[in-house]
Amino acid sequence: MIGHTSPSKSFNPVEELPSMAGKVIIVTGSSSGIGFASLQHLCRMGAKVYMATPDGDRTQEALKRVEQEGREPGMGQVLWHELELSDPRSAKASAERFMARETKLDVLINNAALITDLGNPQLNADGIQDNMAINYLGPYVFTKTLLPLLEATASDGKDVRIVNVGSDGHKYVKFLEYGSKEAWNYKLRWSLLPTLERYKYSKLAVHLWTNYLAKRLTEKKSPITVLIVHPGAILSDGAIRSLKTLPFPRFWIFLMGLMMHPQTLGAHTSVFAACSTKDSPHIFHGAYICPPNVSTKQDRKALDENKQTELAEFTENLLEELGI
């Protein structure tokens, strides 16, 4: 949702990227918005794509939409896999169920995110604010649990990738504490737009985690490629839900529609990161890809190894405390 870079309107993933036939891909949060657009592109490229989402009306509507759009020659398939990220136990169980149904996983795209909390941040059953539970902790547990399957897939010499969806908004986070539940639950009420500040805070956590994970996998000599992407300034379904929390929502949606890009373009960086060949100068372990599909440098806050360690150590201690 945040950012100053513009996606390329001429980029066509189906025509410009290699076929993904035979690939198994998970896209979390893909029942709407950028995630659904990513799923559509990947299916058209021949992949077997799992829509990893909670059970609910939005998921059922998305699956109906996939069926209504029909199948063209060369298209892959879309399957639903239940995933509830607000509860880390559920995220772990979902990953375990996936490993029971598939023998490989080529690409994991952690796209799901809570953009708006309607100005009233809720806590999950473990007393963690939903924005951090859904945007960071759930994906962390889901990915950690799937790592053995990703590693096994990569052991055959296959090109295996983890693509995390971050945000250029990570550059503007001012509250930088990540070593306690109190910090995770800080409401940031001092901001004019506290909902947006909480979203950016959670996205910086994703950047810190991605960089930490990339380093740990390098130390293990793992062949898995880890990347993080920024979609661009996108008027996604989630962004619209966020704008509806403001006074005069129609005005804001109209105004942002003039300044932002449609969500089909917001999927470009995720799909580029997932599918481009490794001879691209922008595809490398630890890359941060922004529109129009170019690698760039993350803010120093995301590259701070002390903060990466602080977040990782507290996360592991918390999961141990929760028995996960």
| Residues annotated catalytic, as ranges | 199
Structure tokens at 30: 């893909």
Instruction: Say if CB 201 and CB 136 are below 8 A apart.
Output: no
The continuous run of DSSP H or E covering 225 comes out as: strand 225-229
The packing angle between helices 194-219 and 305-322, to 10°, is 90
Q: State the DSSP string of 261-280.
A: EEHHHHTHHHHHHHHS-TTS
- Give the C-alpha separation, 129 to 86, whole Å: 9
- Give the C-alpha separation, 135 to 263, whole Å: 19
Given the structure tokens 């007393």, which residue do they identify?
A: 127
- Give the C-alpha separation, 55 to 70, whole Å: 22
Instruction: Say if CB 293 and CB 272 are below 8 A apart.
Output: yes
The number of helix segments (H) and strand segments (E) in the chain equals: 14, 10
Structure tokens at 274: 């997932």
- DSSP letter at 103 equals S
Instruction: Say if CB 227 and CB 164 are below 8 A apart.
Output: yes
The packing angle between helices 268-275 and 33-44, to 10°, is 40
Note the residue count of the chain.
324
- Give the C-alpha separation, 130 to 133, whole Å: 5
Given the structure tokens 């804001």, which residue do they identify?
A: 252
Tell me whether the omega of the peptide bond preceding residue 292 falls within 30 degrees of 0, making it cis: yes
